[in-house]
Amino acid sequence: MIYLYGVTRAVQSDQLPDAAVFGGAVELMPVDDLTLVVEHVEAVVLQEMLGEGAREDDTILHNAVMAHQGFINSVAEAADIVPFRFGTAVENDAALAELIAQQGASLNATLDLIAGHLEWGVKIVRSEAARKPEATPAPAGGADYLRQLSAKKQTEDRSRENMAELCKEVAKDVAAMAAKAQPLSLRSSDNSEARLLNMACLLPRGSDAALADAVNQAVGRFEDLPLRIEISGPWPPFSFASAGEEAAQ
Q: CB–CB of 230/188 below 8 Å?
A: no
- Tens digit of each residue's pLDDT (9 = 90 or more) over 91-137: 998 998 888 888 888 899 999 999 999 999 999 888 765 555 565 66
Q: How far apart are CA 69 and CA 82, in angstroms?
A: 12
Q: How far apart are CA 133 and CA 162, in angstroms?
A: 18
- Tens digit of each residue's pLDDT (9 = 90 or more) over 59-75: 877 888 899 999 999 99
Cβ-Cβ contacts under 8 Å for 171 (sequence gap 6 or more): 181, 197, 199
Of 171, 199, 202, 205, nearest to 185 (Cα)?
Answer: 199
pLDDT at 48: 75
| CA 132 and chain centroid, separation | 30
Q: Which residue ranges of the chain lie beneath pLDDT 50?
A: 243-249
pLDDT at 249: 41
pLDDT at 246: 45
